[in-house]
Amino acid sequence: MLRIVSANLNGIRSADKKGFFDWLATIQADFVCVQELKAQAADLSERMRAPDGLTGYFHYAEKKGYSGVGVYTRHQPDAVVEGLGVDWIDAEGRFLQLDFGNLSVVSLYLPSGSSSDERQQVKFDFLDVFMPHLESLKAAGRDIVICGDWNIAHNEIDLKNWKGNLKNSGFLPEERAWMTDLLGRVGWCDAWRKLYPEAPGYTWWSNRGQAYAKDVGWRIDYHIVTPALMADAQSASIYKDEKFSDHAPLIVDYQRSL
């Protein structure tokens, strides 16, 4: 069994103080994909770099206190790929791929467009660049899981207040159509939705209006996987017993070994 976790930490140092690494030590994950490090290499403690039997690999943003992704693993990777090879994307530390035999584990932090029209355009530009990359990854014939914060709620079931968000970043028609294309024409699979067609599966909650307590959430954290790996997906869960971030960890167990 392979246990793979995706968690947007909204700051690795903040999540550490809230007990994230204590929790990590208890769950026996093989891979833990983290996003929004908001830190550089010099900011990480030894435990943040290599927590309890795991080794961390990171792709930092150039800007301090911003973005950044990482993958913790119990296994030695054959290859580590930092970034997409596109300067303006890679400067923000948004993509990290580790290869293990025929399996690739990716941590992704897709841009948010909620802060400004300019950032929404950056998000659209990212989607334009990313789709051909996703097509080539799919065509390579590897078993791949892309874990992360995609900053898109795909369908109405994926956010509580969908009617009030039809014109907001994260639920725009163009974003949703892009995700439909990815899961349809290109042939990737959304692990949570395939396993649980009727369960909302929220992973993020606004800090306003008691959204977390009332479970007025969005599902924007995903395991997007190739079909062969999807066939091995056994179960998934969202961990809400403790709150390490404004996101909750998404855990998926796959019936396979390395």
Binding site feature residues = 8, 36, 149, 151, 246-247
Residues belonging to the binding site for Mg(2+) are: 8, 36, 149, 151, 246-247
- Is residue 247 part of the annotated active site? The answer reads yes
Q: Which of 193, 248, 175 is nearest to 7 (CA)?
A: 248
Which candidate in 30, 149, 190, 221 is catalytic?
Answer: 149
User: How many Å apart are CA 223 and CA 106, to the nearest integer?
Assistant: 10
Helices 117-139 and 173-183: crossing angle, nearest 10°?
A: 10
User: How many Å apart are CA 5 and CA 2, to the nearest integer?
Assistant: 10
- Is residue 215 part of the annotated active site? The answer reads no
In this structure, are residues 250 and 234 in contact, taking their beta carbons and an 8 Å threshold?
no
Q: Which two tokens stand for residue 35?
A: 């996003």
**Cα 215 off chain centre by:** 20
Q: Which two tokens stand for residue 194?
A: 């395939």
Which candidate in 57, 109, 202, 222 is catalytic?
Answer: 109
Burial 167-197 (b: 16+ CB within 10 A, else e): eebbbbeebbebbeebbeeeebbbbbbbbee
- Is residue 109 part of the annotated active site? The answer reads yes
Q: Tell me how far CA of residue 14 lies from CA of 8, 20, 39, 117, 247, in angstroms.
A: 12, 9, 10, 28, 13
Give me the helices (H) in 140-248, please: 173-183, 191-195, 211-214, 227-230
Strands 204-205, 217-218: pairing is antiparallel
| Catalytic (active-site) positions | 109, 149, 247
